[in-house]
């Protein structure tokens, strides 16, 4: 990361961007077949038709922040904050410091503009994705009532959830993903500083390991229950699926065209209970084989599950009626799919020595109904004995940003 200009290796990444990548949030550097082998200096274009960080190859780390506007903030404050965030995010994602003066160029007599912990680090495929929560559009706040997408309302209650305010809601969100956690943390830290006096952090979430993939050329990672997660995702190369299930068309609110809705759920996983479950039962709960990730109806990882196959050993359906994969599958949910982009988290231990750990579930959907329908189906999921939803938020994610524009400029 540099003050005014890119390092040599980063610049090479950008040349790759111009030559090999369009404007839809692809990766700039190299043409590696296995996305996991992408070089760390890769730069993801910030400007484009869609915001980056959605179909972008899923980076290894996440730092997510939800913000509330301060009680005294005005419409002008919101507008200027979004403009300042846009400028800063455009710089940070390209491997630059947050301003030209940066961490050391502003002289000895004022605090540095940039906090400095990413100095010397490559861009690490940093993406910064912005979203707006329902409360931002409330009457008597910023005059945005008429700009609220009809579907941007708080999520309904679901069976078994034990939501806590301290992990839920927010006027605004920023998702920072990168292949180095320090780069993602640096981005959120500096964007939070810029917000001072206008918005404050409500809650944050650090995710240390991806639990999804947006392309089959990227290996499928594992969640903390040890299962491959992200096998049946909406993939970045399927424009038809993306148009149907991820991108908003702007017919409701033009500023949302090319955007999406982001559902965030903090899901605690009861690791110690799960670890005492027999392998056969773990697989029956998920509906897939633990080693290869293949559906219990047979085949390999990417074979479509066949819910009609009967198992003599199980004396019933090979993929049990209350298994996670059966209940989450599009055939059980009016065809609904979602682009999942979640991360594992581990936050120490509780008083009993049990892990505070789980899945920070993130899904991008064209309509929140896609998530709501699937989550309602999951009321019968046998996985519920081993998980608890403890945080929840929904955000409208505006479409991509053109050079010279600010995020959410269509709101004003």
Ligand X SMILES: C=CC1=C(C)c2cc3[nH]c(cc4nc(cc5[nH]c(cc1n2)c(C)c5CCC(=O)O)C(CCC(=O)O)=C4C)c(C)c3C=C
| Minimum CB distance to ligand X smaller for 45 or for 287 | 287
**Does residue 318 belong to the site contacting ligand X (CB under 6 A)?**
no
The answer to whether 401 touches 407, Cβ cutoff 8 Å, is yes
- Member of 52, 55, 375, 406 binding ligand X (CB under 6 A): 375
**What is the C-alpha to C-alpha distance for residues 23 and 369, in angstroms, rounded to an integer?**
28
Strand pairing class (61-69; 172-178): antiparallel
Q: Which of 38, 229, 283, 289 binds ligand X (CB under 6 A)?
A: 229
Residue 312 burial by Cβ neighbours in a 10 Å radius (0-12, 13-18, 19+): exposed
Q: How far is the CB of 256 from ligand X (least distance, A)?
A: 22
CA distance 85 to 295: 44
Q: Which is nearer to ligand X, 202 or 324 (CB)?
A: 324
Binder among 174, 374, 390, 397 for ligand X (CB under 6 A): 374
Q: CB atoms < 10 A from the CB of 219, how many?
A: 13
By CB under 6 A, tell whether 246 contacts ligand X: no
How many residues bind ligand X (CB under 6 A)? The answer is 26
For residue 344, give both structure tokens.
């594992």
The tokens describing 102, both together, are 């940066």
In whole angstroms, the minimum distance from the beta carbon of 223 to ligand X comes to 5
Rg (CA), the chain: 21
User: Mask of contacts with ligand X, 386-405, x by CB under 6 A?
Assistant: -x------------------
Q: Which token pair is 363?
A: 């899904």
| φ, ψ for residue 300, nearest 5 deg | -120, -170
- In whole angstroms, the minimum distance from the beta carbon of 312 to ligand X comes to 24
Question: Does 365 engage in binding with ligand X (CB under 6 A)?
Answer: no
Candidate segments 47-55, 78-86, 106-114, 223-231, binder of ligand X by CB under 6 A: 223-231
Neighbouring-strand partners of residue 38 = none
Of 122-130, 172-180, 252-260, 372-380, the window that binds ligand X (rule: CB under 6 A) is 372-380
Q: Which of residues 267-306 bind ligand X (CB under 6 A)?
A: 267, 269, 286, 288
| Residue 341 touching ligand X (CB under 6 A) | no
**Which CB, 6 or 264, lies closer to ligand X?**
264
d(CA 176, CA 188): 7
For 10-25, give the DSSP string: HHHHHHHHHHH--SSS
Tokens at residue 261, please? 């809705």
CA 77 to chain centre: 26
Q: Which is nearer to ligand X, 126 or 319 (CB)?
A: 319
Cβ distance to ligand X smaller for residue 29 or 155: 155
Q: Which residue ranges make up the site for ligand X (CB under 6 A)? A: 223, 225, 227-232, 265, 267, 269, 286, 288, 324-325, 328-330, 338, 359, 361, 371, 374-375, 378, 387
């Amino acid at each position: 990361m540099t003050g005014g200009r890119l390092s040599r290796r980063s610049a090479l990444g950008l040349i790759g961007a111009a030559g090999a990548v369009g404007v839809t949030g692809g990766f700039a550097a190299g043409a590696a077949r296995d996305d996991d082998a992408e070089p760390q200096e890769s730069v993801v274009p910030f400007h484009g038709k869609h915001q980056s960080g959605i179909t972008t190859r899923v980076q290894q780390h996440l730092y997510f922040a939800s913000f509330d506007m301060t009680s005294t903030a005005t419409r002008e404050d919101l507008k200027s904050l979004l403009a300042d965030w846009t400028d800063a995010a455009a710089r940070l994602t390209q491997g630059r410091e947050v301003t030209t003066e940066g961490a050391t160029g502003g002289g000895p007599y004022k605090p540095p503009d940039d906090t400095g912990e990413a100095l010397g680090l490559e861009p690490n495929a940093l993406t910064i994705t912005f979203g707006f929560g329902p409360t931002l559009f409330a009457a008597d706040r910023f005059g945005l009532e008429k700009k609220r997408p009809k579907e941007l309302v708080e999520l309904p209650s679901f069976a078994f959830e034990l939501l806590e305010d301290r992990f839920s809601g927010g006027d605004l969100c920023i998702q920072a993903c990168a292949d180095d956690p320090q780069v993602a943390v640096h981005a959120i830290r500096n964007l939070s500083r810029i917000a001072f006096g206008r918005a404050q952090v409500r809650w944050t979430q650090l995710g240390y390991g991806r639990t999804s993939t947006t392309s089959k050329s990227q290996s499928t990672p594992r969640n903390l229950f040890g299962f491959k997660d992200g096998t049946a995702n909406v993939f970045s190369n399927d424009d038809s699926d993306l148009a149907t299930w991820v991108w908003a068309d702007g017919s409701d609110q033009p500023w949302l065209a090319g955007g999406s809705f982001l559902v965030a759920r903090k899901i605690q996983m009861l690791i110690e209970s799960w670890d005492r479950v027999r392998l056969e039962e773990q697989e029956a709960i998920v509906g897939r084989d633990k080693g290869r990730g293949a559906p219990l109806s047979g085949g390999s990882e990417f074979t479509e599950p066949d819910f009609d196959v009967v198992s003599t050993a199980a004396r019933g359906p090979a993929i049990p009626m209350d298994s996670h994969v059966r209940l989450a599958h599009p055939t059980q949910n009016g065809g609904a799919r979602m682009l999942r982009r979640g991360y594992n988290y581990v936050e120490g231990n509780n008083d009993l020595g049990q892990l505070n750990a789980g899945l920070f579930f993130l899904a991008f959907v064209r309509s929140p109904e896609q998530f709501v329908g699937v989550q309602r189906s999951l009321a019968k999921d046998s996985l519920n004995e081993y998980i608890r939803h403890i945080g929840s938020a929904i955000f409208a994610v505006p479409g991509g940003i053109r050079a010279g524009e600010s995020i959410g400029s269509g709101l004003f």
